[in-house]
Amino acid sequence: MVSPLPLAVGVAVIALVALLIYGVNSSGPSRTLDSQLARGEKPAAPKLQLTSLRDGQPKSLTDYRGKVVLLNVWASWCGPCRTESPLLERWHRKMQPLGGTVLGIDTLDIKGDALGFIAKHKLTYPQLNDREGTSIKKLGTAQYPESFLVDKQGRITALQRGPVDETWMRQHVLPLLEPSS
């Protein structure tokens, strides 16, 4: 018969190793959305629990249902976000009369710095906040900026991990703004 002590030690070691393997595997960003889009699917946008950057009031992506939304995850300390912001502002002004909007999600940022960034770059599109970056994990966000295009039915139709450019916007956003879409 096996002595209970070595058995307990063995079980504890196996449990610790299993926990370590789980930890290592679960730390990477999810790429489910990328694979679904690559297969031509249009997955439903995840329910993101966010707050308004200015007043901290709870906000959700469903508040924008019926609009074409370009979700843009950014932070004031992120260099490429600075470069990208004039393009996003220009496109927001273009999208607004056609039932669309750019929606910024500031994350892992100091609120004062974020508001300073918005003022400096004269950004007029709505800004939400994911203070701890937990909600945007559902989008598989791991770098900044990242953009997700959501259609009027609340489905993700395209994403860009890295800054968007004029070509990407024309290719993905314009078709959704057409009256027939």
Partner 1 sequence: MTRALVALLLLVLLGTATSAAAACPKTSLADVEDEVMCPVCGVPLGLATEAPQAQRERAFIQREIERCKSKTQIKAELVAQFGDRVLALPPDKGFNLAVYLVPAAIVLAGLAAVTTVALRRRRESRATSNGAAPTTALAGDDAARLEADLERYDL
Residues of the shown chain interacting with partner 1 in the complex, contacts defined by CB under 8 A: 5, 8-9, 75-79, 108-113, 131-134
The pairing of strands 156-161 and 146-150 is antiparallel
Q: Which is nearer to partner 1, 51 or 96 (CB)?
A: 51
Distance in Å, CB of 128 to partner 1, minimum: 16
Q: Which is nearer to partner 1, 98 or 108 (CB)?
A: 108
Distance in Å, CB of 157 to partner 1, minimum: 28
Distance in Å, CB of 165 to partner 1, minimum: 22
Q: Which is nearer to partner 1, 108 or 174 (CB)?
A: 108
Q: Which is nearer to partner 1, 131 or 152 (CB)?
A: 131
CA distances from 83 to 33, 112, 164, 171 (A): 26, 20, 10, 20
CA distance 88 to 164: 9
CA distances from 108 to 32, 57, 133 (A): 23, 17, 6
Distance in Å, CB of 5 to partner 1, minimum: 6
